[in-house]
Amino acid sequence: MKYPDQFKQEVVIEYEAGASITDLMRKHKITGKNTIQKWVMKYGKIGLRDRGGQLVRSVKSEQIKNLEKRIQQMESQIQKLQLHNLMLETLIEVLEEAKLAGELEPLKNSGKKKSKSRK
């Protein structure tokens, strides 16, 4: 049977409020053994509980935690790259101003021979 998303979310809210899966299956006449568990994994905020009532860490929440850590690492790397980019842009501006003012001497050949392109 196809259930509307709103209904699924309401059942999940009842589950997260403390109702057992068995009670919810009876109350709402849900026959699939894993139906509510799937809904909790998809729509739930706290994950599934074991038979003792303890929360079982969902794979989804673990993935979210890992992705959030990766996002922080990438944001830190972006900040470093932006700072490096700003430094290079500033250096280019200073060199261009020095060149325009005639304060920059041409680079001398360091003794390396220029390679001729092969035809």
Query: First and final CA of the chain: distance in angstroms?
Result: 73
Question: How long, in residues, is the chain?
Answer: 119
48 φ, ψ (degrees, to nearest 5): -85, 160
pLDDT at position 95 is 92
Distance CA 30, CA 63 (A): 29
Distance CA 37, CA 47 (A): 9
Of 23-37, 64-78, 94-108, least confident by mean pLDDT is: 94-108
Other Cβ atoms within 10 Å of 104 Cβ, number: 13
Range ranked top by mean pLDDT from 25-39, 55-69, 74-88: 74-88
CB 15 within 8 A of CB 44: yes
pLDDT at position 49 is 72
pLDDT at position 4 is 94
**pLDDT over 60 (residue 97):** yes
- Residue 107 is classified by DSSP as P
What pairing do the DSSP bridges indicate for beta strands 48-49 and 55-56? antiparallel
**pLDDT over 70 (residue 51):** no
Neighbouring residues of 39: CB distance < 8 A, sequence distance ≥ 6: 8, 9, 11, 12
